[in-house]
A and B are shown apart, each in its own frame.
Chain A
């Protein structure tokens, strides 16, 4: 038996340690060092430092893999695996956390619920996500998932005096706990079948059984249900619109991108790892779920008048597109999932950022009418929103097109022509509801003249997301190379 805590273990753990350490530091400093409301900006700085150190850890891991020519290295005897996939997804999480924290400052002040622990929760949630992307052990994965989820339960209900926020938090908590139960059940079955919690051992054990083994099927089905809840795939999507609408918009943004990306990372790890042998069984199932998700997400979005709710349904439909990458199951599809989640993080975050700018004292700013005539009032916001919406719809030359392109390409490669045609047809439906927002902004008359909320953080975050949404579309090569590493998973 080797040492319990080696330097390799430490190396693999550094980013998570940094996130946890700074997360706890934020919680403590909030009480003891910077208790005054005016000092909260130092907490944001602390958060930025934590994310910076975690990012440094990631960069060093990446450099190590590159310099040694390794595809991956494991730590804690196979509990954590650092590979291109993990580093890529962790990069997404860190970027999302930082952007969300930047815009939250002003937003929470307007909401009147500005508390220091919010920033601690962001860091701790991010810490949970780290284990979702790097973990290759059922227990680690489950604990990571719960850490992330519990932080989100609190953040969704962060507006204590707002009934919608409370309702959203309770719904999310109950359904989330329910889905975690399913997931735990699936995990325990896998453990029972393999006698080990490590994914590599489970993969070997399940491969030895026939694909239609009822126990394997049960393990697959329960795990799938749990994961489908987390990424809001039909028919387990019901919590998403309510939770998205009720949560503070900054949390909605964070939930819709980071939590979704982390859960997809887990989903891909499980389905292409332990469950890879039963591909023949889950592939048609996933195809059906993806089509149902596209249908429900897109059709329900058409009638929404609340933009947050509309974006919630649109994010359900995006989950459907991402899942199609897994249905195709080829390297292009996996790379497509990575590219899609990267692009989706920036474009969806960007769309929510515009809604955050619309939230002002006395004005909720989340109805379709609140966007009326935005082009007159603030052309910069209107044009940025247009870019985000075009990207969400998948119109070139925005980043969203590259993402959808990969999914279509993977499906054609896999010979799934009908799925590709269905997915393509829903692009037209999506354009319809995204352009209802565009119509409001550019054609309708002004509804009110109150200027938009603005802060340095908000402008910076909008700028970054806007530039990236265009840049990944016009010059995708460097980003595709980044994503290329994540295919090494197989």
Chain B
């Protein structure tokens, strides 16, 4: 039992889905109840990770490996390190809360909705757990189909356009990524004489810079579309705005992280030469900085509440990719923490928009104003989410952004300067949004009788707020968990830097200890 912990985490939602399919469609309340049970069971089975995971151990833990397709060299290998640990916990928690938040929002085709949600949950967990490239790719693609349906069936007015745009964009990127994977796979065969997709085996490859660059760009297309990085971000506003609330939450909190996770897990360690190639670093950092500033500026201009939050994701994910390609411990660790933070804060912001939308059926910011008078609890929750997203000290966003800026500063001061512009703009659009929707007098009579948060809605926010404060006040455990994997990646990518750093005996994450 215990040695299969990761498989249990991975397949609990899928098992929940199969049982869900047996419930007759007209028993909607039973379906809702079961979906919530399955969702929270998915979270519950992931909790043992908290004590089973050994933060001092090197490499991957709780690894399970089985032969799957011997003639292709594909295996079922799952395992976690500190990076995937955090993302798995984020996925199981956000997934359960997103299911809980859908209770009253989804009224038609309830069974299909929850089935898709649970299927997607397994797909996303698989992406973060897989240590075999073939397995990873299968899960990566599996995620697309349920999300297509969640947007396309339960979405807003332009749902079909948004759904197929999301699907095609991501798919086009991932098939190119597949060619990159196949190139590595074939190069491994040429060097070692057998085919394998195992990440640990592929890491042994010693490839010339030229091939690494080609593969890097193939991976880049796949991951950058998913993140999304600057020129590939156009699917995101459409998908986010049209998706139902819980879909937006999953999309922002977890799906986007698949891209950044891909960079950290695959691009850096598998293609170390390409990853430190100055030209590539410049392009990626440049795109990240553009995303930070451009995303923030576009957010400032939005009239649509949900679209504003969507564009803020572009800006925040820019920080994550900036941290990765700062290529130092602070940047990388900050990037992972910022990914968790973004999952928490933006997840909350989308839930907040969803609650307003459920009550008023409009997302135009101008329709609101002064809601704090009628919905005080709601306004408080929004304030916390907004401040956490804006990076206020003692909340989670500050820790992530600060660490990334520290890393960027170490790499190049100009990068840090431009990125901090994003923080200022971020505070501006978020505070202005809050002011326009929550503060002042109620100008629109329709807003006079809006009900405040009910118990279920509060239950959705409570764990997220608690987590945001925990990271903000006491981030030490997170940095400890990340220390080993970050060190291992950087030792591969920049061995000479690592020697210098340890010679100075300066603890790389010293500032926050």
Contact = CB atoms under 8 A, between A and B. Distances in A.
A161 B213 CA distance: 62
B172 A425 contact: yes
A425 B175 contact: yes
Contact of A390 (B68, B145, B172): B145
Given A396-B141, A412-B182, A435 B164 contact: yes
Given A397-B142, A412-B182, A442-B149, A428 B70 contact: no
A431 B179 contact: no
B69 A439 contact: no
A484 B71 contact: yes
A417 interface: yes
A421 interface: yes
A427 to B, nearest CB: 5
A396 B69 CA distance: 14
B409 interface: no
Interface string A390-432: 1000011100010001001100110001001100110110011
A443 B153 contact: yes
A477 B69 contact: yes
A220 B178 CA distance: 35
Main secondary structure of the interface of B (DSSP, over half): helix
Contact of B168 (A428, A443, A481): A428
**Most chain B CB neighbours (cut-off 10 Å) among A413, A435, A481:** A435
A375 interface: yes
B357 interface: no
Contacts of B164: 432, 435, 439
Nearest to A439: B160
A476 interface: yes
B183 interface: yes
Given A396-B138, A439-B160, A442-B149, A408 B178 contact: yes
B148 interface: yes
B111 to A, nearest CB: 9
A401 B164 CA distance: 20
A480 interface: yes
Main secondary structure of the interface of A (DSSP, over half): helix
Given A396-B138, A396-B141, A476-B69, A424 B168 contact: no
Nearest to A480: B71
A476 B182 CA distance: 18
A401 B68 CA distance: 15
Interface in B208-228: 214
B152 A480 contact: no
Interface string B149-181: 100110000011000100110011001101100
B137 interface: yes
Contacts of B447: none
B179 A396 contact: no
B167 A431 contact: yes
A442 B168 CA distance: 18
A477 B145 contact: no
A408 B182 contact: yes
B152 A439 contact: yes
Contacts of A435: 148, 164, 167
A427 B144 CA distance: 14
A396 B142 contact: yes
Contacts of B69: 476-477, 480
Contacts of A397: 138, 142
A364 B175 CA distance: 36
Given A476-B69, A477-B71, A408 B179 contact: yes
A424 B141 CA distance: 14
Contacts of B159: 443
Contacts of A431: 167-168, 171
Contacts of A428: 168, 171-172, 175
Contact of B178 (A424, A443, A481): A424
B402 interface: no
Nearest to B71: A480
A408 B70 CA distance: 18
Contacts of B178: 405, 408, 424
A413 B186 contact: yes
Contacts of A443: 152-153, 159-160
Interface in A144-182: none
A408 B168 CA distance: 19
B285 to A, nearest CB: 26
B186 A409 contact: yes
Contacts of A477: 68-71
Given A375-B112, A396-B141, A427 B179 contact: no
A396 B177 CA distance: 14
B179 A417 contact: yes
Contacts of B144: 395
B205 to A, nearest CB: 15
A439 to B, nearest CB: 6
B136 to A, nearest CB: 11
Contacts of A412: 179, 182-183, 185-186
B72 interface: yes
Contacts of A405: 72, 178
A413 B179 CA distance: 11
B175 A427 contact: yes
A484 B69 CA distance: 13
A424 B142 contact: no
Contacts of A476: 69, 72
Contacts of B214: 417
A310 to B, nearest CB: 16
Given A425-B176, A443-B159, 16 more contacts: A375-B112, A395-B171, A396-B138, A397-B142, A408-B179, A412-B183, A412-B186, A417-B179, A420-B182, A421-B176, A424-B176, A425-B172, A427-B171, A431-B168, A480-B72, A481-B71
Interface of A: 375, 390, 395-397, 401, 405, 408-409, 412-413, 417, 420-421, 424-425, 427-428, 431-432, 435, 439, 442-443, 476-477, 480-481, 484
- Counting from the closest, the 3 A-B pairs by CB-CB distance are A424-B175, A428-B172, A396-B138
5 contacts: A396-B138, A408-B178, A409-B185, A412-B186, A420-B179
